[in-house]
Structure 1
Amino acid sequence: RPGHPLTEQPVTTERYAAVPHLTVSRRGRLRDRIDGVLAERGHERRVIASAPTTATALQLARDTDLVVTLPDAVTRSIRDQLGLITLPLPIELPEVPLCLLWHQRHDNDPAHTWLRETATRVLRAPFTPPATPDQ
C-alpha cells in the first residue's frame, strides 16, 4: 500500500526480512519455502500471523504494515482495486513444478486428452506475463 515502510527505499533482503509478515495458509502455517531460501542466506523473516485465504491476507495488508508475499499472477487482477503496491522480491525463488497425473488407460482417450490440455492452458494463463503493446 502507499506509505508502507518498504516503499520508501529499495527493498533489500535485510529490509524485507525485518518487516512483519503474514502468510497464507489454511492450516495456519507460519513458514513456507521463502523461509528456507532466506535461511540459506542467513536471514529470518518475522512472520506474525497467517490468513486462511489470499483475499483475507490482501485485506489485512491493505490496512496494516504487514507484508504478504504472493505470485504476481495472484495479485495482478485485484491489487489496483485494493490500493496495493507490489514490489519485486529481493531474493530469487526456485520454480514450483505443477504436474498433472492420470492413469495410463486415459492416455489415448480424446475426452481426457482435451481435459488435460484445457487444464494445462487454464493453469498456465495466470502465470503468463501480460502482453506489452510491442508484442
Structure 2
Amino acid sequence: MGRRNLAGDDLLAERGLSRRVALMVPHFLVAPHAVAGSDLVITLAQRVARAFATRLPLTIHEPPLAIPRFAMRLYRHERRPLDPAHQWLHQQLLAIAKEL
C-alpha cells in the first residue's frame, strides 16, 4: 500500500516539515488501539479522540497547526433512490447528523 498524501501533509510541507509514517491501518477506528500505550501519535476528530480516551490509555493534545474542518457527506446509489428502506436509512442518518 502506498503512502497517502493528506491535507495535513500540505500544511506541514508549507512549513518545510513532513510526517514520518510508522504504521498504516485499514480503518481510522483501528488506529487509537494501535497507538495506545506507544510513543506514536494520531490526528483524529476531537469527538472521536475523546470517545476513545475514555476507554484507552490516550492523552489528547491540541495540534501544533490549525487543521481545516472537514465535511461529512452521505451518498447513495442512483439506482435505489425510491427504495423505502434506503429512504428510511437516509432520513435516519440525516436526523442523527443534525443532532451532532
- Superposition TM-score, scaled by structure 1 size: 0.54
Pairing of 1:10-21 with structure 2 (within 5 A): none
Range 116-125 or range 57-66, more displaced: 116-125
1:33 aligns with 2:7: yes
Aligned with 1:63: secondary structure? coil
Instruction: Identify which of 48, 52, 55 aligns with 1:78.
Output: 52
- Aligned partner of 2:70 in structure 1 is 96
How far apart are the structure 1 equivalents of 2:13 and 2:54?
Answer: 32
RMSD: 3.0
Using the TM superposition, give the Cα deviation of residue 68 of structure 1 relative to its aligned residue in structure 2, in angstroms.
0.9
Residue 71 of structure 2 aligns to a residue in which SS?
coil
Contact 1:30 1:48 in 2 (8 A): no
1:31 Cα deviation from its structure 2 partner:
3.5
Following TM superposition, the consecutive aligned residue runs of length 4 or more in structure 1 with deviations greater than 4 angstroms are 114-117
Identity of aligned residues (%): 29
- Gaps spanning 5+ residues in structure 2: where? none
Which has the larger helix fraction?
Answer: 1
- Structure 1 runs not aligned, ≥5 long: 1-26, 129-135
The letter for the 2-side match of 1:50 is: M
1:54 to 23, 28, 32: 28
Deviating more after overlay: 86-95 vs 49-58: 49-58
Residues 30 and 47, structure 1, Cα contact 8 Å, conserved in 2: no
Aligned residue in 2 for 1:66: 40
Q: How much does 1:116 deviate?
A: 4.2
Which moves more between the two structures, 58-67 or 46-55?
A: 46-55
Partner residue in 2 for 1:3: none
Helix, strand or coil at the partner of 1:51? coil
1:50-90 Cα distance to aligned partner (Å, 9 max, x none) = 11233431122112101111111222222121121111111
Greater RCO, 1 or 2 (C-alpha within 8 Å, sep 6+): 1
Give 1 or 2: higher strand fraction. Answer: 1
TM-score by length of 2: 0.68
What is the aligned partner in structure 2 of residue 43 from structure 1?
17
